[in-house]
Amino acid sequence: MITESQFQQEIELIINNALREDVGPGDYSSLACIPSDAMGKAKLLVKDTGIIAGIAFAQMVFKKVDPEMIFTPLLHDGDKVKYGEIAFYISGRSQSILKAERLVLNAMQRMSAIATKTNQFVEKLSGTKTQILDTRKTTPGIRALEKWAVKIGGGVNHRFALYDMIMLKDNHIDFAGGVNNAIIKTKKFLSDSNLDLKIIVEARNLDEIKEIMKNEGIYRILIDNFDFETTRKAVELIGDYCQTESSGGITLETAPLYAACGVDFISSGALTHSVYNMDLSLKAVK
């Protein structure tokens, strides 16, 4: 997994690029009608229900735009919210508040939606050993925000990108000439490159699981698109050889059934690619 320092660098890149994209040479709407020394105050109004996420990110954005702004949080990331609650107040130069407004709202609306959906899976899996994982099926350019939201919702981050974990999926296996070849070549590459990365291998059937288990040093087997009965057999077959992960179209309704098969993790791309933004508004306080 990436380090905390690497993660913070990703967040900084997101903020800088988003402000470049949105503000460009200047917020001419505000510059045109609001004096540069005008002071104001605004509140983040919740107009939905779910799990709030992105409050800490919002504070980073406001600080980046104008370090003199005063951020007063009333809620915290991960809190359950309902319509009418106020997440925070922000006060300072009116131009600065407006410059940051859209980035804060865009990020928090999406992060809150992801955190809410993740928390729904967490609640469905309550009482089991199974944890919910995200995937790399994220919006290009803001992966760090979306994975941050998954953690806020109670989920667990999978690998961040292609560089922090080995994951041999069906195409890798087919291009490499089979499961064993893929694993052998991977181990040689890691050794030659002096890299210490965990290895996950996807299995499409029980025979591939048996092939994988002929090798040492596998961190997790991805049991992909198995039905419940075959998943249960796979978990029994794998035993304590390594961790297990189920994936492939798993929904809120079917997640508990896969958990009952004994898998350690369930991964779902839907956490990040199939959510509806939480309704939030930044309103001026008069």
Say which CATH number the domain at 109 has. 3.90.1170.20
Among the listed residues 137, 151, 187, 232, the single catalytic one is: 137
Q: Which long-range contacts (CB under 8 A, 24 or more apart) does 255-260 make?
A: 255/121, 255/124, 255/125, 255/130, 255/132, 256/124, 256/125, 256/128, 257/228, 258/130, 258/228, 258/231, 259/125, 259/128, 259/129, 259/130, 260/128, 260/228
42 and 177 in a single domain? The answer is no
Q: Are 265 and 131 members of one domain?
A: yes
Q: Are residues 110 and 139 in the same domain?
A: no
The verdict on whether 264 is a catalytic residue reads no
Residues 108, 181 within the same domain: no
Which of 41, 224, 233, 279 is the catalytic position? Answer: 224
Cα dihedral 230/235/236/241 (nearest 10): 140
Judgement on whether residues 127 and 42 belong to the same structural domain of the protein: no
Residues 6+ positions from 193 with CB-CB distance below 8 Å: none
Separation CA 207–CA 234 (nearest Å) = 10
The Cα–Cα gap between 110 and 103 comes to 11
The reply to whether 202 and 229 lie within a common domain is yes
SS3 label, residue 242: coil
Contact 98, 27 (CB under 8 A): yes
For residues 220 and 243, the answer to whether their CB atoms sit within 8 Å is yes
116-172, pLDDT tens digit by residue? 999 999 999 999 999 999 999 999 999 999 999 999 999 999 999 999 999 999 999
User: How many Cβ atoms are within 10 Å of 39's Cβ, its own excluded?
Assistant: 12
How many helices (DSSP H) and strands (DSSP E) are in the chain?
11, 12
> Residue 222 sits in which domain range?
123-273
Q: Within this chain, do residues 261 and 167 fall inside the same structural domain, yes or no?
A: yes
Total domains, the chain: 2
Residue 214: active-site member: no
Closest CA to 270 of 252, 284, 253: 252
Distance of alpha carbon 20 from alpha carbon 28, whole angstroms:
14
Q: With residue 163 as reference, give the H or E element that holds it.
A: none
From the candidates 10, 101, 202, 264, give the one annotated as an active-site residue.
Answer: 202
Looking at the fold, whether 43 and 143 belong to one and the same domain comes out as no
Shared-domain flag, residues 57 and 146: no
The secondary element (H helix, E strand) that includes residue 90 is strand 86-93
Q: Give me the pLDDT at residue 1, please.
A: 75
Residues of the chain with pLDDT under 70: none
Show the DSSP H helices in the chain as ranges: 4-23, 28-33, 55-65, 94-124, 143-152, 170-176, 179-192, 206-212, 228-238, 255-259, 270-273
Cβ neighbours, 10 Å, residue 273: 14
Pick the catalytic residue from 102, 136, 198, 233.
Answer: 102
Residues 140 and 181 grouped into a single domain: yes
Q: Are residues 261 and 134 part of one domain?
A: yes
User: What per-residue confidence (pLDDT) applies to 286?
Assistant: 87
| 68 belongs to the catalytic site | no
Active site residue 129: no
CATH number at 169 reads 3.20.20.70
Task: Specify whether 244 is located in the same domain as 172.
Answer: yes
**Residue 159 annotated as catalytic:** no
pTM: 0.96
Strand duo 265-267 + 280-284: pairing: unpaired
